[in-house]
Structure 1
Amino acid sequence: MEKKELLEQIQDLEQKYGAWAYDIPLPFDVWTGGNRNIPHTRLKRIVQIVSDLVDKPLSECRILDLGCLDGMFSIEFALHGAETIGIEIREDNIKKAIFCKNVLNLSNLDFRQEDARHISIESHGLFDAIICSGLLYHLTAHDAIELISKMFNMSNKVVVIDTHIALKPVTRYLINNEEYWGEIYNEHNEQDTQKIKSKRLWASWDNNQSFWFTRPSLINILNKAGFTSVYECFNPPHLNYGKPGIEHFDRCTFVALKGEKCKLFTSPAANTLNENWTENSLDYSANKIKSKKSLFRKIIQKPKKNK
């Protein structure tokens, strides 16, 4: 394929299926978005997490990318040599993703037009790392919890969840006598047809509302699913794609590891203790930090002498 033909096919795909979600580099110094020169720091963060935490080179890993849009994250892992599966429900995205795969001749990459909510060991197998970036907050509370359980079962070790969270516990969700908190987010109008919904590439697939869990509730869900440790990633930083400011104050990257529970010898009572984080216990807001600092100053302040 010559450069002219490649450019024509990219333009043709955009006319048929809409604008590209990602700016992906292809041969002849051609980019799907025209080379926007935007540093994708979220991608950098997620690839670094996986590289740091899997017990082998990326080229020996099996990676699952859920809700992959037109495939940038999947392509990145495949270019590192990983056997990669990208799951995407929208035809508009999957057509562009498959095009990039074929142009780059990535035989270790498989794009599947499927609903990420329906993944299973039987259909997809086990993975060294599962990436769930930009998907969880488009699901209902029930579907999000179910997906986390499936990711636990299908992961050998690492699950990366990059998601929006609710900053306040507004709405309670009760399942199996477990209480979780978050906030309901409107994705579509009730009268919207599925055809209309399917064209909204940055929204849910069919549910009109999604549920954003609070930080404590999401961590409790991951604990309940069976992950032995959960972390939040701050480095590499994702601020605003190299521009001033912060893109989102309510979007976080969580890393859940599936390992063996380590039993303590010197504190056996801790082995059977399983606690949940309470709401507002993991609030990073400036106001809360300020109030704690003020309280500390009051504590250390010397008492005034009586006049």
Structure 2
Amino acid sequence: MATSIKDVAKEAGVSIATVSRVLNDIDVVNEDTKKKVLDAIKKLGYRPNIVARSLKTQRTKTIGILIPDISSQFYPEIVRGAEDVSHIYDYNVILCNSDFDAEKEKEYLRVLKEKMVDGVIYMSSSLNEDILDLINELDLKTVLVETKDKDGAFPSVTIDNVSAVHDGAKYLIEQGIKNLGFIGVKNDGMNAWGERYIGFENALKEANLSVLDDLVCFDTLRVKSGAKGVKQFIESGKKFDGIVCASDEIAMGAINELRDNGIKVPEDVSVIGFNNNYAASIFYPKISTITQPSYDMGSVAMRMLIKILNKKDLEQDQYVLDYELIKRDSTK
């Protein structure tokens, strides 16, 4: 038979009301009594009924985290940062993977509302108006990570993706590379990945270089897109001596395809990735990349959300964290 709150009260020698106050962290209980209750909870292995508590407090101490790709090496580190902070404040986490599918994102938002989560940390494949409207309609307290909405209505934690890719492309240009290709995601959606193409365009424009359509491939952030882009570049017949990739996975696919076609990296073509996944540091050749502070992005976002849930003021609601260019063996 499951342990009840009545059993805890009996073991601690206090009233059920006192146990309830301890569970709900109400300060009127003195420290000695609180310790007795906590010791009794631990001894009996009591776990409060979250649903019953939520009906009374209107809070479940649960936060939803929605990510676009659970197979990516980038997002788990964000989740780890968020989860570490959630545990400090005794929040539980529900993790949802949208697989870059906007309809799936909407469905998960509805599910999280039904599960009565207190708030959501949201990494979106596209912040379209209908998704933002749904978040508002569901009245979900939300912090965005990696991408921010155009009006800045939602708190967010990002880096400057435009400047980051600009700096990566500029670095290649400074090495004497003039024929640059780009493999990534179209900039027609409101997301961080589209902003990376804008940074690429800006760097070439600044250096008085042209963006050639044949040397631009829009697809996904996955390995296969890197191979697809290189095949396109080779088939075009256009000369290229550098490739800027919107993710490290793309860079890996690109390098493998170049190798399969007898093209050496970086002797013939320099390749730069994005995110600084662990695999990028052990791949051959080790991949030059832009690093994002992924763990910090998750931990900062969770702290922001918990402050919002507890009606505390935020020092700021739009955090733009630092990035860094990591120079390795895939570039000259």
TM-score, with length taken from structure 2: 0.32
Higher strand share: 1
Q: Which of the pair has the greater relative contact order for Cα pairs under 8 Å at 6+ separation?
A: 2
TM-score, with length taken from structure 1: 0.34
Higher helix share: 2
Structure of greater Rg: 2
